Amino acid sequence: MTDVPRAGARPSQPLPSSIQETNDIPVIAAYDVIVVGGGVAGVSAAVAARRTGAAVLLIEKGVMLGGLATMGMIAIFLPLCDGRGNQVITGIAEELLNLSIKYGCDSLPAVWGGQGAAVRGGRYQSVFSPAEFAVALDDYVDEARVDVLFDTAFSRPIMEEDRCRGLIVENKSGRTAFLAKTVVDASGDADVFARAGAPCAESTNWLSYWAYTAELRGMKEALQRERVAAGVQLRQWGRGPDGSGNETPTRKYLGTAGFEVSAFIRDGRRLAAEYLNNEKRRDRTLAALPSMPQFRTTRRIRGRTVLDEASVGLRAADSIGCTGDWRTAGPVFEIPYGTLVTQELTNVLAAGRIISAAGDTWEVTRVIPTACLTGQAAGTAAALAAASGQHVAALDVSELQTSLRAQGVAVHLDDVIREGV
């Protein structure tokens, strides 16, 4: 799909196909591990790398941590369990679930909150407040002593053959460079891998738009009685991941091309405007809008291993943790370390919704708890590789598994916490 402006930009003469850039770029600092993207995967990677002894820089182009879970208002922390009473995801994912509801609103079934009997009830998931989660994440990375650069976009990798020596970033300081021993790409879009020339797969998206509205009905009367009666609601317009729902527009969007992303953002807000036009002015208001595009799938790496539907229930010798399927009770996957690394790049790891998972399995691995899990594994591996000087693809996986177990991760299906059905 080509990415072209709809109007304007009419050149009076033919455009050159490219322009050469030569700049002196100041090098600001060197770290053991740099993590690109401060979504749940990036935060998990940064904290895990720091706890494994690395000096860590986390780069985020937005102004808060959490990515889609905060700026994107995706306020449902999907299950840590398999739907049959077994907790399959542990470790930092569980820490972040608890952090997301630390300051208030939640819907966690009491039995999963540590108050219940051995037999679990309901799925181990919760709704949360994106704003409260963002505030809690600040403290979380501070406590781990991760350096964070907000409002800073990763621009280019500094490549030496198949090794990424560091990153060029853009922020209010201008264009600067940071050096790293290993890099974790948690950008949600595999920006580091793609710009370093590693093979990636892309996917288009149906339009979805999630935002908060507030119910104002009865507000006037409530104010007269000095009471506040506004109810805040997370509204979901557009279509589901499979295109379900028949709202317009009927086309899909590509999340890796500038004008396409802009059209996606603009068309999402059109759905919000329709809602405003259809509801009585006095009865409702838009309370908060997302501040990042809500793409489910954009680009993922083609890793050394590709997780697919056939992997369900299978033991992976290089497993870094387990995940259930949020859509249905029963299936559990072991996630191979090979889904986080490529043959092509020697010191870059993938985390979150960009790991190597094909077909329907991308649906399983792209959600919040699994993104935390792969973030924790990628961050730990990045720190181990930085300390030993090993290529990430040649890392001693048993050492990584030992470290993850010590951090409380259920590495194989045998480690899954079984509480009974």
Ligand X SMILES: Cc1cc2nc3c(=O)[nH]c(=O)nc-3n(C[C@H](O)[C@H](O)[C@H](O)COP(=O)(O)OP(=O)(O)OC[C@H]3O[C@@H](n4cnc5c(N)ncnc54)[C@H](O)[C@@H]3O)c2cc1C
Binding site for ligand X (CB under 6 A): 36-42, 59-62, 67-69, 74, 76-78, 153-154, 186-189, 191, 208, 210, 292, 294-296, 352-353, 366-368, 371
Residue number, 328 or 398, with CB nearest to ligand X: 328
Beta carbon of residue 42, minimum distance to ligand X (angstroms, whole number): 6
Query: What's the CA gap between 200 and 187, in Å, rounded?
Result: 14
Residue type for position 121: G
Residue number, 186 or 198, with CB nearest to ligand X: 186
Residue number, 97 or 216, with CB nearest to ligand X: 97
Kindly report the three-state secondary structure assignment for every residue of 58-119.
EECCCCCCEHHHCCCCCCEECCCECCCCEECCCCHHHHHHHHHCCCCCCCCCHHHHCCCCCC
Residue number, 172 or 281, with CB nearest to ligand X: 172
Beta carbon of residue 81, minimum distance to ligand X (angstroms, whole number): 13
Query: What's the CA gap between 86 and 84, in Å, rounded?
Result: 6
Beta carbon of residue 288, minimum distance to ligand X (angstroms, whole number): 15
Residue 335, C-beta contacts closer than 8 angstroms, at least 6 positions apart: 307, 316, 319, 320, 321, 322, 323, 355, 365, 370, 373, 374, 377
Beta carbon of residue 203, minimum distance to ligand X (angstroms, whole number): 12
Q: Could you give the angle at which helices 368-388 and 397-406 cross, rounded to 10 degrees?
A: 120
Residue number, 149 or 410, with CB nearest to ligand X: 149
**What is the total residue count of the chain?**
421
Helix (H) or strand (E) holding 205: strand 204-205
Q: Report the side by side order of strands in the sheet with 231-238.
A: 231-238, 208-215, 284-288
Residue number, 254 or 368, with CB nearest to ligand X: 368
Beta carbon of residue 11, minimum distance to ligand X (angstroms, whole number): 28
Beta carbon of residue 78, minimum distance to ligand X (angstroms, whole number): 4
Query: What's the CA gap between 397 and 391, in Å, rounded?
Result: 12
